[in-house]
Structures are given as C-alpha cells and as structure tokens.
Amino acid sequence: MPEKIQETPLRRISREAGDSGLFPAEVHRLFEAGKARKAQSALRAHVPKELNSARKRRQQQYLDDVYLWLEPLDKAPTMHTINGIGTTLYGNYKPNEDGVHIATLWFVFVFLPVFPLAAYVVRKAGGNSWNFYAKAPLPPFARFWRLGFAGLAVAAGVAIAAQVAWDKAHVELWVYNGFDLPVEVTVGDDHYSLDPHRVVRAGNYPVGVVPITATPQGWAVPLEQTDANLDLLGDDELLYNVASRASLVRSWVVYGPGSTRDDDLLGSQAFVGVGNVDYLLRDPPESKSVKEGSSIVDEVIYNAEDEVSFSVAAFITQAMVGPDDAWRMLRARLAVQPGDREALALASTIKPPGDPELVAVGELARAGRPDDVEAHRLYQNSLGSESSLAVRDEYAALATEHPGSAMHQYLAGRLLDDGSPEAEALFHKAIALDPEFAYAHLALGYHQSAQGQLGQASQSYARYAESDDAAFADVLRSRVRLLQVQAAPGWLDGANALLDQAEARLGLDLGLAGLRSTLAVSSGQSSLDQALEALETSLGGVTEDPDGLGTGIAPALLDACMAAGDATRARALLEQLDPEQDAWVLAKGDLFLALGAGDDTAIRQALDDHLEMISSSASAQALFAAAAAQALGHDGAAQLLELAGSLERMGSVSPAVVLDPQADLGSPASLDALLAKVPLDGRGLGYAAAAVRLQHGSGDGATLAHARAQAERLLLPDELPPWR
C-alpha cells in the first residue's frame, strides 16, 4: 500500500479553520521542507500585507505560537564553560506540566548571559543534564536581548518593549490627494494643504477614532467627513486615499537578477496598509548598486492613472476589483468635476438615474459649488422620473429668486418638456441676460430640433460650439445629423467640412475617423475598400499598431463594413477579436449583424453571450437589444428595458416609449405620433427599436418599412444595424 501522507500542523489548522489560504504557499513550502523558522519569518513578513483583516488576526495568532514552528534536531548542542565563560541554558519559556519548556542557549561571561545563540525544547534530566527534543524560535526576551549586549541589553530590552507598546497604540498616517486640484485635509487637530497628486506624512495618531475632513479648493462645504477608526483598520502605517479618488496599485521592482510578481490592483480603498512600502506614490530609481549575484526587491504603490487614462483605470478597476471600487472613484471625480461627461457615462452604467447614491453625488456637488452650472446639471441628470415634479418646482422657484441669473433661467428651462413654450421662453431669457451663456444656446438648439425647426437648431448648436473645444465636440454628431436629416444639396460636403474643423480643433481620433468613413460608404462617396484603406492610413497616428485589430481600430473598421452592408467582412473582423479585451466591440457587432440579418436564433445567441456587456453600455445597442429581447421573450428583457428607459434626461421623452406594451405601433401615423415628442437625436433610435420589435413580433408590414426608412433618415450610419 502507498505510504500514508501525513498532514502538517499548518495544513490541519487551515482545514479546521475552513480557510485554505490562511497561510501563504511559500510558508507551507518552507514548513514542509523542514525550515519552520524560515516559514515563520515568511509569515511574519506577509502579515502586514494581508488585506483580509480576519485572516490577518488569525495569522498573527499562529505567528506567536512558538511550539508551531519547531525544527527537528540532528544532535544536541555542545555546552561547557571555563571560568564562567562559555555556553549554558537559561530560561523556562512556555512550560508544560511534564517539565518540557523552551530554554535559550546563551553565551555567558562570568555566568552572566551576554548573547542568546539559539532556543530549544528541553526537559531537565537531572544534575546538569538535559533532554533536547527540538529547535525552537527564540523567545521574545531573547530576541530583544540580541539588540544589545552585556548590562546594556536589559535597558535596551526595556526601551524596545516600551517602543513596541507605543507603536501598537499609534498609527502612522499618510495622506494622498488623487484629485486634479488642491485639497485641504484636516486630521484630528492637524491641517494639511495638498497639491494635486501629492502625498504627505501626516504623523502618528493614537489608535481609536480620528475625525478626518477633506475640502477641495473653492468648495463651500467639505467633500468628505469621516470618523476613521484606526484601531479597526489594522495596520501600524496607513495611507488615507482622499475620498477614495485614486485606484491604487501595489507593484514590485527588482534590482539585479530575478523577476518579480504581477502588479496587485488594490482598488479605491479609503485606507491602505503601507508599512512595508519602499516607494509610496513616488517613482523608484531607475537603478541601484547591487552586489554581484544578489538582488534587491522594493515594493511600490502607485495611482493607476499614472499609467493609463481615468476612464481606462475605472474600467479596469470595475472588471478586476468590482463595481463598488469603480463607483467610489467615479463618485469622487464627478463630485469635484461635475462636467466630466465621460465619468458620468461610466457612473451611469453602475448607478442608473434615480439611484440614491448617484443622486447623493449630485447633491454633494451642488452643495460644494452652488454657483457652478455643471454641478446643477449633474444633480438634474442624476434624478429619476419620479423626482420630476418636485425638482421642477424647486428650480422654478430658484429662477424666480434669481431673475438676473442666466444660469437659473436655463436650469429651470431644461427640466421642462422638450418643445414647450415655457422652456423656450426661459432659454431666450437666459440668452438675453447673457448672450455668451453657452448652455442656453445648447438647450435652445435641442428644443428647436424637437420642434422640427432644424435650421434654427443648427444655428443654436453652432453658437454653442463656438464656446470651447469641448462644446464643439459635444454637438458635433448632432450637427452632422441635422445636415443629414435636412438633406440639402451638398449636405455631405458640409458634414465633411464639420469633421475637418473637428480634426483641426480636437485632433484625429477613432470617433471622427469612423464617422467620416461610414458617411462615405453609406452615401456611395467611396467604396468599402477605399474607406478601410483611408481609415488605416489616417489612424496610423492614433493607434500604436494600425494594422492590428483589438479595441484600437476594430470599432471603426466594423462600423464601415456594416455601413456598407457587408456582413461577411464584418463577421471576419469579429472572428479576429479577443473575447476579453474586445468584449464591447463583439457585443455590438454580434447584436447588430444578427439584427441586420433578422435571424432570431443569432439574436438570441448574441443576447445570451453579451447580455452583461450590453447592459453596461447605456447606448443604442441597449435599446435595440431591449426591443429584440422583448419581441423574442428573452429572459434579459426586463433588465434591458429598465436600462433603455433611462437613455434620455428629465424633460425628454425616451425613445424607449416604443417598447411600452401599450404603445400603438399599428400604423405609420400612430408610430409618428408616438415619437413626435422624442428629441431628434433619440427619435431615430426609437424608429429603429420599433422596427426591431415589429420585425420579430407581430407587426404591420407598412409600419415596419416606415420605421426602417425613418431610422435610416435620422440615424447616423454608425448607429444603425446593417439593413441595407
């Protein structure tokens, strides 16, 4: 029979605790190799880095159990003294009832202990004889003694014990400002001014509850007020990540031979243990002097945004750590930079409008910067439809209280129904008060497009676009859409002229290049081959590898193929994508191609494969997916319908109105009436969603044809499934 495998004490403890990861693999390896003391040292080095507080307490408990870390003896040590100088045993540490205890072998001078050499599990055998059973870790007293010698050792041991006790009663705190503007931080009675992306050592604070307040520059109220219980955080050296703004990464750098492990994404924790970190939010040196054959491994903590953009850092944090961590960093960024549309778009994939936590961010931003229009816009955008009447009354009252404020007239107007005379009057009043108030021109353009006043809407959007580059980019697609819908002679030249201006002002990017190529192929201005060649050439300066696929150039190539109606080439592109890296491209591609083919089986498969990715996009594909799921009775219909209903801001009719079970899609006229109040930028989505529902449900053929025709007229070619 095979020899029975003996379970080690560490394995037994892990099994009984129900925690297979209680001890790191390196600790098990050393222990099972008979190197118990090295295993203990490895565990001692690991404990400060352990993130699970319950596991950390257990590790510390077993770390202090000296009988757990015994090593077998080959032979008993030699002991003898001459004139009181030599080696002898002292001590009775951790005694058992049978007389077994741990004793320390000391070098002695005149029989006085000078230096501890080793510790053993022993029992008195009579006279000066001892039975030796195992080698043990040094008891605490002997370990402290090694820090000094002779008569000074006792005093040093007492001082060290006092220091250890003081350290256990205090926490060293660092503070990091991950924001792009200065922040004032108060810890207890101490005040610190932190520049953007700066870290400071705040000092030592007694273990217990310490009040912490963080206030960004220019804010009327604190951004964060918290009572941090330093005792529960469980580390002797902590980093306070202000408002959880930064997603932090733990890394290692090796000087000399050898390799290091992969980075560890910590996420947006408010407090992080940093006791063993060599380079805290600062760059390690490029090189160090290392003895031949040896190496130095240093630990580093850095902000993920030091390496990638904010949006990428948030996306990676959500994928690898979790949505809660991504939400914390998005919440902090939005509160301080409420005009960040990218952050709002990402946040809305985690917290839809009306979610109390998203509303709380809007309220916080508004309280912090009451005179900032972006803060009010964030608050209004965060609200759900159930809050519409109350918030309309609130802002109507503010407009009355501030009759000379263009901002308050605009804010009251944008909550009213699109196209209403009351909204138009407020926008005109805002412009009369301040002709340069850009958002009033934007809102008026939106209002005019809803009313069918397309020429006036183009002029209003142009006035808004003059304000800055961000505004130009904000309405670029809307202006191109207006040109396409009006279909005046030479409209495509006008659209290309707008794209030329965008490239000159904003630089070339994938969105611009992709829109240009899809316009060209859908209008017949160029062939698909010409468009693809032009795309790869123009994007050479944007992507590192313009010939490679991946999330760089693939979306633009895919849109061009679908705009040309070439499903075969589109599928060939999709087959070359990475399922993980390019999941969002695959989600759109598979869904749109299945919708374009009208293939129920393929649509169901796309929904099964990509439901979660579609559900995090809050875009056209979510609306089309919702229509398909509803028509086909797919399990994800409810989830997608809820998302699709949040595509428009308060005051606007969502294109998802066509997905209401009671919606009248029985004739072209009834469909037109249903979508008449949907803003122009969303109306085409409504017609396309209606077409999906009609095709895959039981719908009138004439209404289906009308819905498709209107969708093609209103949607830009990179938004539309390939029905051509």
pLDDT digits (tens, 9 = 90+) for 115-127: 888 888 888 887 7
Q: What is the pLDDT of residue 126?
A: 75
Residue 400 is assigned to a structural domain of this protein: no
Both 253 and 288 in one domain: the answer is yes
Both 112 and 218 in one domain: the answer is no
- CA angle 397-403-405, nearest 5°? 100
Q: How far apart are CA 135 and CA 229, in angstroms?
A: 41
pLDDT band at 616 (very low <50, low <70, confident <90, very high): low
Query: Does residue 502 sit in helix, strand or coil?
Result: helix
* Closest to 294 (Cα-Cα) out of 333, 342, 254, 235: 254
Question: 323-336 and 341-348 are packed helices; what angle lies between their axes, rounded to 10 degrees?
Answer: 150
Q: What average pLDDT does range 331-346 have in this prediction?
A: 89
The pTM assigned to this predicted structure is 0.69
Residue 427 is assigned to a structural domain of this protein: no
Residue 227 has pLDDT above 70, yes or no: yes
Residue 454 is assigned to a structural domain of this protein: no
pLDDT band at 344 (very low <50, low <70, confident <90, very high): confident
Give the residues across from 303 on adjacent strands.
248
The torsion angles phi and psi of 172, rounded to 5 degrees, stand at: -85, 125
Both 627 and 589 in one domain: the answer is yes
Which of 9-13, 46-50, 406-410, 411-415 is modeled with the greatest confidence?
406-410
Mind listing the pLDDT tens digit for each residue in 492-549? 999 999 999 998 898 877 778 888 888 988 888 888 888 888 877 776 655 555 444 4
Query: Does residue 700 sit in helix, strand or coil?
Result: coil
Q: What is the pLDDT of residue 164?
A: 53
Q: What is the pLDDT of residue 576?
A: 84
Query: Does residue 298 sit in helix, strand or coil?
Result: strand
Q: Residue 354 region, left (φ>0) first, then alpha (ψ -120 to 50), else beta?
A: left
Q: How far apart are CA 149 and CA 658, in angstroms?
A: 86
Q: What is the pLDDT of residue 60?
A: 85
Which of 15-29, 119-133, 261-275 is modeled with the greatest confidence?
261-275
Place of tokens 């009451």: 370
Q: What is the pLDDT of residue 442?
A: 94
Q: What is the pLDDT of residue 552?
A: 62
CB 81 within 8 A of CB 108: yes
Q: What is the pLDDT of residue 65?
A: 81
Residue 330 has pLDDT above 60, yes or no: yes
Q: What is the pLDDT of residue 479?
A: 95
The torsion angles phi and psi of 150, rounded to 5 degrees, stand at: 50, -140
Q: Residue 673 region, left (φ>0) first, then alpha (ψ -120 to 50), else beta?
A: alpha
Q: What is the pLDDT of residue 152?
A: 59
Both 116 and 247 in one domain: the answer is no
Q: How far apart are CA 623 and CA 15, in angstroms?
A: 50
Residue 348 is assigned to a structural domain of this protein: no
The torsion angles phi and psi of 629, rounded to 5 degrees, stand at: -60, -40
* Closest to 409 (Cα-Cα) out of 380, 433, 393: 433
CA torsion, ordered 470, 473, 478, 483, to nearest 10 deg: 130
DSSP letter, residue 285:
P
Residue 678 has pLDDT above 50, yes or no: yes
Q: How far apart are CA 297 and CA 288, in angstroms?
A: 11
Q: What is the pLDDT of residue 542?
A: 54
CB 645 within 8 A of CB 630: no
Query: Does residue 654 sit in helix, strand or coil?
Result: coil
pLDDT band at 97 (very low <50, low <70, confident <90, very high): confident
Mean confidence (pLDDT) of the chain: 85
Strands 237-241 vs 170-177: parallel, antiparallel or unpaired: parallel
Q: What is the pLDDT of residue 155?
A: 47
Both 595 and 679 in one domain: the answer is yes
Place of tokens 């997905």: 659
Q: How far apart are CA 628 and CA 610, in angstroms?
A: 13
Higher-scoring residue by pLDDT: 545, 336: 336
Q: What is the pLDDT of residue 147?
A: 64
Q: Which of residues 99, 133, 166 is at a domain's end?
A: 166
Q: What is the pLDDT of residue 646?
A: 63
Q: What average pLDDT does range 198-223 have in this prediction?
A: 91
Residue 503 is assigned to a structural domain of this protein: no
Mind listing the pLDDT tens digit for each residue in 294-311? 899 999 999 999 988 888
Q: What is the pLDDT of residue 125?
A: 81
DSSP letter, residue 137:
P
Q: How far apart are CA 257 and CA 519, in angstroms?
A: 55
CB 195 within 8 A of CB 226: no
Higher-scoring residue by pLDDT: 2, 423: 423
Both 214 and 175 in one domain: the answer is yes
pLDDT band at 211 (very low <50, low <70, confident <90, very high): very high
Residue 436 has pLDDT above 80, yes or no: yes
- Whether the CA torsion 349, 354, 360, 365 is positive or negative: it is positive
CA distance readout (Å), 280 to 178, 194, 326: 13, 15, 22
3-state helix, strand, coil in the chain (%, to 5): 50, 15, 30
Q: What is the pLDDT of residue 291?
A: 86
Q: Which of residues 69, 95, 121 is at a domain's end?
A: 69
Amino acid 334 reads L
Both 192 and 286 in one domain: the answer is yes
pLDDT band at 2 (very low <50, low <70, confident <90, very high): very low
Both 194 and 152 in one domain: the answer is no
Both 657 and 708 in one domain: the answer is yes
Look up the domain containing 620 and give its range: 582-724
Q: What is the pLDDT of residue 157?
A: 53
Residue 263 is assigned to a structural domain of this protein: yes
Both 209 and 278 in one domain: the answer is yes
CA distance readout (Å), 451 to 29, 281, 440, 674: 74, 53, 16, 14
Q: What is the pLDDT of residue 142?
A: 81
Give the residues across from 30 on adjacent strands.
none
Q: What is the pLDDT of residue 541?
A: 56
Q: What is the pLDDT of residue 193?
A: 94
Q: How far apart are CA 359 and CA 381, in angstroms?
A: 9
Residue 485 is assigned to a structural domain of this protein: no
Strands 248-255 vs 183-187: parallel, antiparallel or unpaired: unpaired
* Closest to 655 (Cα-Cα) out of 704, 703, 714: 714
Both 143 and 174 in one domain: the answer is no
Share of the chain above pLDDT 90, in %: 34
Total structural domains in the chain? Answer: 4
Both 101 and 235 in one domain: the answer is no
Instruction: Please state which of the ranges 296-305, 591-600, 612-621 shows the lowest mean pLDDT.
Output: 612-621
Share of the chain above pLDDT 70, in %: 91
Q: How far apart are CA 647 and CA 165, in angstroms?
A: 58
Residue 620 has pLDDT above 80, yes or no: no
Q: Which of residues 307, 324, 343 is at a domain's end?
A: 307
Residue 194 has pLDDT above 90, yes or no: yes
